[in-house]
Amino acid sequence: MEFGYFAQCFVPDFGYEDNPDWEAQRIRDNLEISQLCDKHGFKYIWSSEHHFLREYSHMSCPEVFLSAVASTTENVHLGSAIFNITAPVNHPARSAERAAMIDVLSNGRFELGTGRGSSSTEVMGFGMPGSPRDPETGLADTEITRGLWDEAIRQIPHMWREGAYSYEGDSFSMPAREIFPKPVTKPHPPLWVACGSPGTFEKAGKLGIGVLCFTIGTPDEIAPLIEIYKNEVASCKNPVGDFVHDNVMCVGFGICLDDREMAIDLATRSHMYYYQCLVYRWLDTFPKPDGIPEWPALIPEPTHDEVKMAIEGGSLCVGNAEDCVHVSRQYERVGADQYVISPLTSTLPMDVVRETIVNFGKHVIPVIDTDPVHRSTRQREAALASQ
C-alpha cells in the first residue's frame, strides 16, 4: 500500500485573529509540506478543487498549486482530488489542457482525479440548476451533475489521443479543434473519480478507473464499498481510458509523533471535529450521520479516551509510529491501495505536521510500501507492453 498527502487548504476563520495573512500562510504551508513529503517516501500529493466554501477549503485552483509542487519536487506523483470536469464549471477541453500541462511540467507525474462537486453552493454558483437542502431528507439535489461528469470523462481521453477533435453532446459541443499540449505520460495519465456511495464505487469499477474514497467511516465500514469496486474492475474489459486502472485511495487524518500521549492530546484540541462540521455545512449532497448538528452548532472535540478508541478501531491515524502502522494496516487489510493523510485539515502547529511527515517516512512507509514503483505506473506500463 502506498502513501500520500492531501492538500485541502482548510482556513478556519479564527486563525485571522493572530495572523491577518492567514489564508496565504495556509496555502504556503500546504506547499511546504508537499515538498517535505517528496523527501520522505510519500508517493502522492493530492489537491482538491472547491469554490465558495468559506473555511472548509480555499483550494480553488489545484492546477496552479500542483504546478508549484511539480516545480519543487522530483518523485511524488501529483493528483487532482479532484478536478471538477463538468462543463459549466470547467469545460472538458480546458480540463484536458490543464491536466496535460501539469503532466508536461512534472515530466509525467500527473494523475487526473475527477468529480462533479458535492455542494449546491458550488453547483449553483456556476449557474447549474440545483436546489437547497430538502427539509425532509436534508440533501441537495445536484443530480444533473452526474450526467455532466459521465459525458466529460468519456471524452477527455479522446481529446488527448486525437488530432482534430470535435463533439456534439448533451452538455457541451465543440467544432474540430486540436487540444494542446498532449500529455507526456503514455498512453495518458491515470484516471480516477471521487466516490462516496455504493453506486459510484460500482461505476468506477465498470469504467476501469481508480477510486478516490472520501467516505467517512472505519476501515471495516469502507470494506464493502471497496469490495464492490474490486469485483467490478476485475472484470472490466472496455475501460473509459486506454487501460484499466485498478486503484483505491482512502483519506484520513494523521499525527505521528515520538511522544504518543502528546499526539493523542493534540488530537483532542486541533479542531478536527470543527472541520467535520464544515464538511456537512457545505457538502449538502452527503447524507448526514446521526449526531451531526445543524450548523452553526458544533460537535464537541473528542476526548482522550475517544481518540484511543478510534486509533484501535483504525479510523484515526494518531499516536506514535506503532499506532500509525496499525491504522495503515487496517486500510491495507480491507483492500485499499493507498492511504493519504491530511494533517492540515486541523490547526496542528507546523512543527507537529513536519514531525508527522518525517516519522511516516522513517517508520511507517518503509514497513508497508516496499515497492519503489507507483502502482499506477506498473498497470499503465503493463498495458503498453501488451499492445
**What is the per-residue pLDDT across 309-345, written as a single tens digit (0 to 9) for each?**
999 999 999 999 999 999 999 999 999 999 999 999 9
pLDDT for residue 320: 99
State the average pLDDT over residues 234-253.
98
Contact (Cβ atoms closer than 8 angstroms) between residue 190 and residue 247: yes
* Average pLDDT of the segment spanning 93-117: 98
pLDDT at 140: 62
Q: Are 41 and 93 in contact (CB under 8 A)?
A: no
Return mean pLDDT, the chain: 96
Burial 344-379 (b: 16+ CB within 10 A, else e): bbbbbeeebbbbbbebbbebbbeebbeeeebbbbeb
Give residue 144's pLDDT band: very low, low, confident or very high (50, 70, 90). confident
Q: Is the pLDDT of residue 70 over 80?
A: yes
Long-range contacts of 277-282 (CB under 8 A, 24+ apart): 278/10, 278/53, 278/55, 278/56, 279/56, 279/216, 281/56, 282/53, 282/56, 282/119, 282/121
* 295-308 mean pLDDT: 97
The predicted structure's pLDDT at residue 141: 64
pLDDT value at residue 288:
82
For residue 198, how many other CB atoms are within 10 A of its CB? Answer: 13
Q: What is the pLDDT of residue 356?
A: 99
In the prediction, which pLDDT does 216 show? 85
Write out the three cell numbers for 236.
472490466
Phi, psi of 236 (to 5 degrees): -70, 120
Quick: pLDDT tens for 195-222. Answer: 999 999 999 999 999 999 998 899 999 9
Tell me: the pLDDT tens digits for 250-281? Answer: 999 999 999 999 999 999 999 999 999 999 99
pLDDT at position 112 is 99
Sorting pLDDT into bands at 50, 70 and 90, what band is 290?
confident
pLDDT at 124 over 90: no
Give me the helix-helix angle, 62-71 and 92-105, nearest 10°: 10
Reduce the DSSP state of residue 171 to 3 states and report it.
Answer: coil
pLDDT at residue number 136: 66
Return the CATH architecture of domain 2-386. Alpha-Beta Barrel (3.20)
pLDDT of residue 238: 97
pLDDT tens column, 29-64: 999 999 999 999 999 999 999 999 999 999 999 999
| Percent of the chain residues past pLDDT 70, beyond the cut | 97
Q: What's the rounded mean pLDDT across residues 10-36?
A: 98
- The pLDDT confidence band at residue 94, using thresholds 50, 70 and 90, is very high
SS3 296: coil
Nearest in space to 188 (alpha carbons), one of 213, 161, 214:
161
Amino acid at 156: I
164-186 per-position pLDDT tens digit: 999 999 999 999 999 999 999 99
CA atoms within 13 A on the CB side of 230: 12
Per-residue pLDDT averaged across 123-142, rounded?
A: 72
Q: For the chain, what are the domain ranges?
A: 2-386
- The residues with which 291 forms a beta bridge, in sequence order, are none
Phi, psi (degrees; rounded to nearest 5) at 53: -105, 85
Least Cα distance to 320 among 370, 254, 375, 376 occurs for 254
Other C-beta atoms lying within 10 Å of the C-beta of residue 171: 19
With a cut of 70, say whether residue 139 has pLDDT above it: no
